[in-house]
Amino acid sequence: MRYSMLILALAGACFVQAQPKGAPLDLVGDLKANYTGGKTKILAAADEMPDAGYAFQPTPDVRTFGQWVGHVADLQAQFCGGITGNTKQLGAAAKTTKADLVAALKESFDMCDAAYDGTTAANANDMVQTFRGPRPRVSWLWFNIAHNEECYGSMAVYLRLQKLVPPSSQGRGGAGKGKAKQ
């Protein structure tokens, strides 16, 4: 429980710093805003990497870019499917083409959209069964966000190693979509 509260506190603190001025968000609104931000970055990163880049592997002991996309898709299906009761194995880890991996990633985001859209203040603390045991719904959804952000961080490095600008850095310092400044 302490771990869950720490994740919530850190995620909330990070979001508050980046949040534009305006109406304050409640816990569920904050959760959904953070999920949507991560979803946008991951889908854009998957789009940004060219087909050939999906096989890119900086060293033999780490995942390829495509394996990162598949990892996100498979775990999201597990995390969010468990919440909605729509458990489904996407088998993204076995896919290798950009088209197949992006399709699985989008399907996993569809599954998560249902989980996040179905979360309200009234059911946020409902217990859900996870591979770590029972957890509050909101805690498990924050865990998914944290996992996605960790994966996006790795994907962003792979994009940079391919001389591409990660989505979260596009528009800064004159660097737009595509190739990084040389």
Show me where the domains of the chain are located. Answer: 2-7+31-169
Q: Quick one: pLDDT at residue 87?
A: 86
Contact predicate 149/18, CB 8 Å: no
Per-residue pLDDT of the chain (182 residues; tens, 9 = 90+): 444 443 444 445 444 445 556 666 789 999 999 999 999 999 999 999 999 999 999 999 999 999 999 999 999 999 999 999 988 899 999 999 999 999 999 999 999 999 999 999 999 999 999 888 999 999 999 999 999 999 999 999 999 999 999 999 997 654 555 555 44
Radius of gyration of the chain (CA): 17
Predicted structure pTM score:
0.82
How distant is the alpha carbon of residue 41 from its chain centre? 8
User: Which token pair is 32?
Assistant: 């959904």
Measure Cα distances from 1 to 6, 8, 28 in Å. Answer: 9, 11, 18
Alpha helices (H) in 25-93, listed in sequence order: 27-48, 65-84
DSSP helix, strand, coil percent of the chain (3-state; round to 5): 65, 5, 30
Q: What DSSP state is assigned to residue 169?
A: G
In contact, 66 and 96? CB cutoff 8 Å? yes
CA atoms within 13 A on the CB side of 21: 0
pLDDT of amino acid 92: 97
Q: How far is CA 107 from the centre of its chain?
A: 13
Looking at residue 172, its pLDDT comes to 65
Q: pLDDT value at position 131?
A: 87
Of 155, 118, 161, 160, give the one whose Cα is nearest residue 140.
Answer: 118
Residue 168 CB burial class (10 angstroms; 0-12, 13-18, ≥19): middle
Q: Which fold has domain 2-7+31-169?
A: Four Helix Bundle (Hemerythrin (Met), subunit A) (1.20.120)
User: Considering only CA atoms, which of 141, 135, 122 is closest in space to residue 2?
Assistant: 135
For residues 130 and 136, give the distance between their C-alpha atoms in angstroms, rounded to a whole number.
10
